[in-house]
Amino acid sequence: MLEISNMFIAPANLEKDIDVALEKIGMLCGAGRSYIFLIRENGTIFDNTHEWCAEGVEPEKNNLQNVLCEECPWWMEKLSNDEVIHIPDVSALPPEAAMEKEVLGKQGIKSLIVLPLYVSGMLAGFMGLDNVVNTGNWGKDDVSILRIAVNLMGMGIQRKRAEKAIHVGEEIYRSMFKNAANLILFVDKKGVIVECNSRVEELLGYRQDELIGRPIKNLIFSDCLKKLKEASDEIERRGFSFNKEYRIFRKDGRPVDVNVNSSGLKDENGHQIQTIFIVEDITERKKAEKLIKESESRYSFLFQNNRAVIMLLDPETGNILDANSAACVYYGYPREKMLSLNIADINILPKEQILEGLEQEKSRDINHFYFIHRLSNGVLRDVERYSYPILMDGKKLLFAIVSDITDNRKMQSELMKAKMEAELASKTKSEFLASMSHELRTPLNSIIGFSDMLLTQNFGPLNDKQLRYVSNISMSGNHLLKLINDILDLSKVEAGKMELKVEEFSVSDLISEVKALLTPLASKKDIQILSTVDKELTTIRADRMKFRQILYNLVDNAIKFTPKDGYVIVEARIEEDQAKIVVRDTGVGISEAEAKKVFQPFTQLENSEYGEQKGTGLGLSLVKKFVEMHAGKIWVESEFEEGSKFIFTIPLNPAN
């Protein structure tokens, strides 16, 4: 048990570790089988996900998939009440367990013991041992071993689910990101730039793809790296860091002075996964500051002609002694009026508080504050103000530079709001689709089932009109069910919640299987389905069900658009390390304009020469998604009125 405990402390390969644990527990307890069943997220179905069998004992895993919880009510009630299911003799089960007795009997089980499995405090399945040879009680040691093992496995599954749940989030509104006035960088936990907007070309001279993948520290002058580390620590503590000034390199080597506001982006568990940097070019401002300090003789020219909003303040009274043209334009006052104002006429803080602050500012080399300033029209704006004490005519004054940050703050707020709304929308969509899966499929299956039963006429004959109506019900129900399934599958793929179940299978056998399924449909139009498989292409490792659906959809599509007495040909061969499958037809072909959008969701061919074809418009879109999940490619080659070729490739032996 110590070895099993160590495996689940930090499972490297959870699936393999569970299999090893089941084998050890089964052998330790002398069981015929040991197994794990997991309940699906909607809580209505459970599957046998892992199984170990002793020598000579037949496995049952493949027979125990998609088991409805409602078929085992006595069993599920016990598990829901956190009870150990101990059955010394299956034949002696009580009448209320009749359904379970039948299921266990078919497996040849004589006795068993089962414990509930919890993940994150919720019932997620169960773990058990059974004996197919003898009846009898399971000992206390067996129960103890199972109790420890099921808790360890529950923790292992919980850990893996938590790891999968961490994600960056939904894409932020690209128009806002692209058109931002400042450079915006997204940097991962390793300090590598993973995204940037187009402003990088103007500010730093890089194309976007040139900057992505570079460590951010490589852009920053070495004497600023300590400040970058301090900002990172501040983000870890507070979640943000404002107004950090750096000197960074352009692509051509020239320096750029920037002011950076940054904040952490966290996942749903509160873990910081990225940092967003909003980078403002302050090169002009820094140049102005340097020039002012270097030469007072150039003060007047720089002061009046600088694009930045600049004022000269008396720290003792708060009076505005001078203001440049940019300040007059920004605040909306003529120069004469501007020079008659007190800073308290602009700053909304009480005058006493303002004067107290000015007194402190003149004793510091540099000052930085955020204020709300009032313009001449009464509009309030968020500003940041830098000030420096300077000596003029023997008196200490404050040289103040004001920048409007209203739009920057609004943009940051909107970016964060957009991210939260996108995450909420994704969660709502997932919950809605989970509900749809059950609520829509269940009544549809009943409608389809009963209509198909009526078509057999086992309950009495139907006249032609009744047969036609019932047939329409069945066809419409199946059409709607396919639409629902396609939409759900497409949504799962796009949300990253659909996984591949890779196995090795025969390509030739699968092609034959699809031909057999679709030959009746082709025969109605006297269409022949032919196939050729390269003798070197024997097997492939892929998700068999998805590969089958890819091929089925392509051949079905080809039949739809091939006229009577035509052909549909499936070719399979090896090209390098890829399996290449071609589905060719003798149909009317696809125009160049239609070929460009044939893989888009809800797209159907519109040209009248195709004929009126019913479909969801999702088949080829799903095909493309499934191919790409296999790290493959798909494309169409066609000329109008000369048939079409749909071609896809997937690796013979995927790396993952």
CATH number at residue 367: 3.30.450.20
pLDDT averaged over the chain?
85
Average pLDDT over residues 276-292: 84
pLDDT at 169: 39
Residues 328 and 243 in one domain: no
Whether residue 301 is predicted with pLDDT greater than 50 in this model: the reply is: yes
Q: How far apart are CA 369 and CA 408, in angstroms?
A: 16
Among 359, 375, 404, the domain boundary falls at 404
pLDDT, position 642: 81
Residue 295 included in any domain = yes
| 390 and 339 co-located in one domain | yes
Residue 259 has pLDDT above 60, yes or no: yes
Tally of structural domains, the chain: 5
In a domain, 78, yes or no: yes
Based on the fold, state whether residues 121 and 44 are members of the same structural domain: yes
pLDDT, tens only, 359-409: 999 888 889 999 999 999 999 999 999 999 988 878 899 999 999 999 888
Q: Determine the structural domain holding residue 413 and report its residue range.
A: 409-495
Average pLDDT over residues 68-93: 92
Asked if residue 656 is part of any domain, the answer here is no
Whether residues 216 and 312 fall in one domain: no
Q: Which long-range contacts (CB under 8 A, 24 or more apart) does 140-147 make?
A: 141/29, 142/29, 142/113, 143/84, 143/86, 143/113, 143/115, 145/1, 145/25, 145/28, 145/29, 146/25, 146/29, 146/113, 146/115, 147/115
Q: How far apart are CA 599 and CA 195, in angstroms?
A: 28
- Residue of 183, 399, 140, 422 whose CA lies nearest to 293: 399
Question: For residues 11 and 656, what is the distance between their CA atoms, to the nearest angstrom?
Answer: 18
pLDDT class of 612 with cuts at 50, 70, 90: very low
- Specify if 419 maps to a domain: yes
Q: Which of 348, 372, 404 is the last residue of a domain?
A: 404
Q: Could you give the CA distance from residue 278 to residue 280 in angstroms, rounded to a whole number?
A: 7
Is there a domain that residue 218 lies in?
yes
Q: Which residues contact 179 (CB under 8 A, 6 or more apart)?
A: none
pLDDT at 287: 82
| Statement: residue 258 has pLDDT above 90 | yes
Residues composing the chain = 656
CB 274 within 8 A of CB 191: no
Least confident interval from 290-294, 502-506, 621-625:
290-294
Tokens 């402390």 found at? 9
Same domain, 451 and 531: no
- 8-17, 213-222, 428-437, range with greatest mean pLDDT: 213-222
Are residues 474 and 336 part of one domain?
Answer: no
Residues 72 and 88 in one domain: yes
Q: Is residue 95 part of a domain?
A: yes
Is residue 165's pLDDT more than 80? Answer: no
In terms of pLDDT, which residue wins out, 332 or 120? Answer: 332
Q: Residues 478-509: pLDDT tens digits?
A: 767 776 776 776 667 666 667 889 999 999 99
Whether residue 430 is predicted with pLDDT greater than 60 in this model: the reply is: no
- Per-residue pLDDT tens over the stretch 136-158: 888 888 888 888 888 888 888 88
List CB contacts of 209: < 8 A, sequence separation 6 or more: none
- 489 and 366 in a common domain: no
pLDDT surpassing 50 at residue 607: no
Structure confidence at residue 167 as a pLDDT band (50, 70, 90)? very low
Per-residue model confidence as pLDDT tens digits over 84-136:
999 999 999 999 999 999 999 999 999 999 999 998 888 999 999 999 988 88
pLDDT of 81: 92
- The pLDDT, as a whole number, for residue 3 is 67
Q: Look at residue 616 and tell me whether its pLDDT is greater than 90.
A: no
What pLDDT, in 10s, does the model give residues 446-455?
888 888 888 8
Percent of residues in the chain assigned helix, strand, coil, to nearest 5? 45, 25, 30
Q: Name the residue with higher pLDDT: 23 or 492.
A: 23
Q: Is residue 150 part of a domain?
A: yes
User: Is residue 38 pLDDT above 90, yes or no?
Assistant: yes
29, 116: one domain: yes
Q: Are residues 532 and 622 in the same domain?
A: yes
Which one has a higher pLDDT value, 303 or 527?
527
| Domain-terminating residue out of 376, 404, 432 | 404
Mean pLDDT value across residues 47-54 = 94
Q: What are the E-state strand segments in 465-560? A: 502-506, 528-533, 539-543
Q: Same domain for 155 and 24? A: yes
Q: Is residue 47's pLDDT more than 80?
A: yes
pTM of the model: 0.37
Q: What percent of the chain has pLDDT over 70?
A: 87
Whether residues 12 and 158 fall in one domain: yes
